[in-house]
Amino acid sequence: GESVGLHLPTLSVQEGDNSIINCAYSNSASDYFIWYKQESGKGPQFIIDIRSNMDKRQGQRVTVLLNKTVKHLSLQIAATQPGDSAVYFCAENPNFGNEKLTFGTGTRLTIIP
Amino acid sequence: GAVVSQHPSWVICKSGTSVKIECRSLDFQATTMFWYRQFPKQSLMLMATSNEGSKATYEQGVEKDKFLINHASLTLSTLTVTSAHPEDSSFYICSARDSAGPDTQYFGPGTRLTVL
């Protein structure tokens, strides 16, 4: 079956350094991808998204890279801050419209002061 | 913009009672809302897709008679856990998709249900 998975379940990064969170997907028909941040006891918070016709998209301190050849998605967070500590999920949408999202297992990012 | 609220944020109930959780899109209209369930240290599991004015679409293995979903308006969907049991204790999260915007789903803050 189709799946969305993350390479690393946990990641610790020194404050101020850059972090990279990776995600592999297997559904070649997916054309929309989203990164969410979830803090303890809260709902997921939208970070950034990217469509399959793009390779890179930048936001404030975050960059998402999409490599369709190897079905790989990554989230880069620049100059990490303590508030970046959370669980990060990638999600894919097989088609535009009302399709459900398929979530990855999540990566816990811990920023070390 | 794109704010989704849930009420209540937490609830404790006795086994056998029913609990209603509300999900509201505060600043946009949502033809489609989604209900998820999340166990500790796990990812989100989609339970059902809630469509305004029509029946919800449930994921395989989710009992529609136990988890009643009503999407009566473009800004409100409700999830009722009927005859709750301790195994229903979980974190329930809704999301909403802006009918006039991109395909992004925006999530509510979640509702922690504890069934005694």
Give the confidence band of B1 by pLDDT, cuts at 50, 70, 90.
low
**CA B39, CA B45: separation in Å to the nearest integer?**
9
3-state secondary structure of B85: coil
pLDDT in tens, A22-41: 999 878 888 889 999 999 99
- Of residues A113 and A94, the one with the higher pLDDT is A113
Nearest CB among A34, A43, A103 relative to B104 is that of A34
For the segment B68-81, what is each residue's pLDDT rounded down to a tens digit? 999 989 999 999 99
Pairing of strands B90-97, B32-38: antiparallel
Q: Is the pLDDT of residue B50 over 60?
A: yes
Mean pLDDT score, B6-33: 95
What radius of gyration do chain A's Cα atoms show? 13
Distance between A13 CA and the closest CA of chain B, angstroms: 20
Q: Please list every residue in chain A whose beta carbon sits closer than 8 Å to the beta carbon of residue B95.
A: 43-44
Query: Pairing mode, if any, of strands A86-93 and A32-38?
Result: antiparallel
Please give the interface size between A and B, counted as residue pairs whose CB atoms are below 8 Å apart: 52
Q: Would the pLDDT of A96 be above 80?
A: no
